[in-house]
Every structure is written in structure tokens, then in C-alpha cells.
Amino acid sequence: MNIPNTDKQFAGSIPKLYETFLVPLIFDFYATDLVKRLTTRKLSHVLEIAAGTGVVTRAMAKELPATVSIVATDLNQAMLDQARTIDIARAVEWQQADAMQLPFNDGEFDAVVCQFGAMFFPDKAKAYIEVHRVLKPQGLFLFNVWDRVEENEFADVVTQALATVFPSDPPRFMARTPHGYFDHQQIKKDLAVAGFSSTTHIDTVTGRSRADSAGIVAMAYCQGTPLRNEIETRDASKLVEATRVAEAALTKRFGSGEIDGKIQAHVISVERE
């Protein structure tokens, strides 16, 4: 599946809105889960790819021993710039890098971590080849991906709502990219192509996404993700309207005041042989 360039552009006001609204809404919960899985391993050098604004990076800096060095990378410099503005427990090396061409030596890391980034890789197997290359023998590749959009209630409601604003060309960013890489067999196949021959473990983890209002959720999805790019490509003057329509749909489904919806993702772990 081809991924439009706009799906990978986290720029302008998106990084700040992403950190302000989306991180507490859906990413904090899974960052805690991911890092907890790392704490049982003996580590010295960890690489994070597609680090975004650093939610997992901050959790690793807090929970992993101070002797563990952390390198956090992202394709989008604007996301790393936002990450640098946030207090972190200890020093981290921030570096712009493309997961398809990692600028690191062979066998350099004990673990490579990626939270909700694999879905954006144009060629998953190629990115996994790079991960395999930079891992030490028995090194761990730990990452998560969202389940199908229908299993993630807020994203699903927003997607359906925006189809009423642009009925002839509905924005499908959420379903196409963040929620478009959930098939277990495809994930295992891509990892095998990349050279991972050990057993791949996949856990499905369900949580709850909570916000003080439907407006916060609508803002998070419509203006704090590349869904904004898709809306503005169709008609930039309709961004506010689209956000309000999404808010109204969320209020109709979940009520006014504080709202609560299901989120679901798959956590994948595999070792280099």
C-alpha cells in the first residue's frame, strides 16, 4: 500500500498539538506498557525510532537504569524539536534519522523500540532490515501498532464524521495509515523477510482513552495529526468546520463532559537470532 507523503508530515502546529492533546489521550498508556516490557532485560544501549515528541523516550529515561544510553530518532525534525522542549529525567541523544536508512553501525544496540511508527514506514520490511542490522545478537525489537480503526472508538467516530464534510472524497488517513497495519500474519511476514527468524510474539492490549471533553478529542485528531493535512488538502477553509463536526459526532456517541472510549493495539516483540 502506498502511503501519501502528507501522511508522514508532522510539521507546523501539529507537533505541539500532538504533544498537548494526543499524547495524554492515547499514547501515555501504551508508552508505560512498552517500557515495562523493557525493564526485565539487561540493557546498555537502546535505540528508539519514530520517537515523535518523546513520550516513550521520557518513560525510558525515567524507568531504565541510568547506565543505559538512549538514542531517540525521528524522521521529522519538528517532532524532535518539540520533544526537546519537555523536561526529561536524564540526558538523551536526540537525532533526526530515517528508519529506512539508520545512520548507525551494525550490531550497535541491545534493543530497538518503536511506538506507533511502523505503520508510517513506506517499506516495512526494509525498515525491519535496518533494525535487524543495528541490533546485537539476541537483541530485542519491541514495537506496537494500532489495531483496525473499528477497534479504536474515537478514531472511528472522527473518520465517519469527516465523511459527511467531504462526502465525495472522505479523509481516510486514520483508517489507511495509523490503523492500517494490524494483520498479524503480514507483520510476521515482513519481519521474516527482514531476517528475523526467531519466534515473533504479538500481544493485543486494550485500554481506555479519556478526555475532559469531546472538543479535546476532535482537536487532537483533526489538528494534531496528519489528518489535518488531508483536510486542508481538500479545503483549508473547512478545518474548523471539520473539527466541529467531529466534536458533535463524539458528543452524540459518548455524551457531553468527560468522555471515554476503547483503544486497542498490538505489541510485537522479536529477537535477532
Q: Phi/psi zone of residue 177: left (φ > 0), alpha (ψ -120 to 50 degrees), beta?
A: alpha
Q: How far apart are CA 182 and CA 145, in angstroms?
A: 7
- Residue type present at position 171: P
- Please give the pLDDT value at position 7: 62
Q: What string of pLDDT tens digits covers the 273 residues of the chain?
A: 567 766 667 878 899 999 999 999 999 999 999 999 999 999 999 999 999 999 999 999 999 999 999 999 999 999 999 999 999 999 999 999 999 999 999 999 999 999 999 999 999 999 999 999 999 999 999 999 999 999 999 999 999 999 999 999 999 999 999 999 999 999 999 999 999 999 999 999 999 999 999 999 999 999 999 999 999 999 999 999 999 999 999 999 999 999 999 999 999 999 999
Chain position carrying cell 479535546: 216
- The cell numbers describing 234, all together, are 481538500
- Please give the pLDDT value at position 200: 98
> Nearest to residue 172, comparing CAs of 184, 187, 154, 156?
156
Q: Are 114 and 134 in contact (CB under 8 A)?
A: no
Q: Which residues pair with 109 in a beta bridge?
A: 135
Residues 5-271: name the CATH superfamily: Vaccinia Virus protein VP39 (3.40.50.150)
- Please give the pLDDT value at position 10: 85
- Please give the pLDDT value at position 50: 98
Q: How far apart are CA 161 and CA 264, in angstroms?
A: 20
- Please give the pLDDT value at position 194: 98
- Please give the pLDDT value at position 11: 73
Instruction: For residue 232, report the phi and psi dihedrals to the nearest 5 degrees.
Output: -70, -30
